[in-house]
């Protein structure tokens, strides 16, 4: 379908927002595999050429739509009075955006070479700035609260140990190509991370 009538034609940011909203809705309703540039253009009431002037392909468009419309990870740090409960609630919250994206979209994106180039190119920065990472900051706050309650001694934990739960979750998502389940989060907390923390306190 062509652009709106002359005089009411959308341009710039208004048009781009309409396209990204259409892409988000199309992704939610039809899934990554069935979504096309043409279907997004029709939903946005524009044409494919307009989309291709901004994004080279469907992958770029989807990633832009996710950045625009996917709920941001909450910065709320749980403080339930118990380390195990705090860890579970925090990791569960981190997974909510991925569950909203859905398995098909995760699999579709992780099959795209462009996405892997982005992941690989970002790894050195993530490792280099590990202490500044928001996820690490959240984990540190949880562990500091646990230390104040006398549950652990933070000085005995290395950055690698502290980042372990998120590293396992990343591995699970990438290898299984789907959001990690609540049961898996509980296993990571109860069978891996908590026992490791206890072992370091000896």
Q: What is the pLDDT of residue 7?
A: 40
Q: What is the pLDDT of residue 121?
A: 54
Please write the tens of the pLDDT for every residue from 58-110. Answer: 988 988 888 888 777 666 799 999 999 999 999 988 888 777 777 778 777 77
**What residue segments make up the domains of the chain, in order of their start?**
12-69, 83-200
Q: Record the pTM.
A: 0.67
Q: What is the pLDDT of residue 1?
A: 45
Q: What is the pLDDT of residue 54?
A: 93
| CATH number corresponding to 12-69 | 1.10.10.60
Q: What residue spans of the chain are helical by DSSP H? A: 12-30, 37-43, 48-52, 58-69, 83-101, 103-110, 113-128, 134-148, 159-162, 164-176, 182-187, 194-200
Task: Name the DSSP class of 34.
Answer: T
Helix pair 58-69, 103-110: axis angle to 10 deg:
130
Which segments of the chain have a pLDDT < 50?
Answer: 1, 4-7, 122-132
Q: What is the pLDDT of residue 125?
A: 44
């Amino acid at each position: 379908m062509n652009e709106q009538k002359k005089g009411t034609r959308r341009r710039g940011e208004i048009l781009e927002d309409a396209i990204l909203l259409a892409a988000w809705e199309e992704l939610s309703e039809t899934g990554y595999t069935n979504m096309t540039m043409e279907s997004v253009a029709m939903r946005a009431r524009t044409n494919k050429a307009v989309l291709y002037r901004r994004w080279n392909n469907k992958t770029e468009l989807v990633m832009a739509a996710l950045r625009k419309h996917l709920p941001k990870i909450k910065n709320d740090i749980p403080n339930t009075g118990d380390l195990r409960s705090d860890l579970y609630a925090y990791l569960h919250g981190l997974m909510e955006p991925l569950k909203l994206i859905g398995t098909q979209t995760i699999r579709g994106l992780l099959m795209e070479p462009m996405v892997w180039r982005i992941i690989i190119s970002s790894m050195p920065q993530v490792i280099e700035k590990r202490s500044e990472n928001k996820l690490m900051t959240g984990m540190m706050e949880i562990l500091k609260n646990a230390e104040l309650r006398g549950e652990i001694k933070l000085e005995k934990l290395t950055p690698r140990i502290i980042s372990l739960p998120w590293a396992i979750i990343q591995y699970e998502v990438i290898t299984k190509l789907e959001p990690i389940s609540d049961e898996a989060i509980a296993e990571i907390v109860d069978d891996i991370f908590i026992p490791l923390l206890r072992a370091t306190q000896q």
